[in-house]
Structure 1
């Protein structure tokens, strides 16, 4: 694997895990209706992180565009998760912010 992608792939993996954890935990919350946007963005963010990881591992010619989109979705997810006091949401928001920064750096 190209070492220039290592930091960004690591951030995407951590974000993917945090989003999956948040998604699963949100489904168990008592007031699930309030978590709807969080759950939806967790899924979307996990999907784009997975796609970004694959793009970097295969050295796609569209890495910059994919990472730009990944950063945008990560920022949206971080913003939504930060609204909720649950520990899983706060951890997810932090992972999303770190991933967005790494992807923005990758996109140059």
Structure 2
């Protein structure tokens, strides 16, 4: 379960940012998780709750913002969802695409 190591890294980084801002406690952390990031949002939330005890984030909640995977087709200039499992074939012009525009995100976007 690599979500535990990701949750631990989120807690450490959010704690560092809070201390740098002169704050001792964090009430929420918002993260964007891409559909193709290889992270299960429910498992990440569970791991976050287990790992936050005894830290500045002990009472914090994790807000997960899902990001759908989209690719771009250069042949017809269309952006389209690739889904899961990913299918990189343009539904508009019936050609393959290798230009993934979103879906791999795993980033902290907010700390309260």
TM-score by length of 2: 0.29
Q: 1 or 2, which has the higher helix percentage?
A: 1
Q: 1 or 2, which has the higher strand percentage?
A: 2
Higher-Rg member (1/2): 2
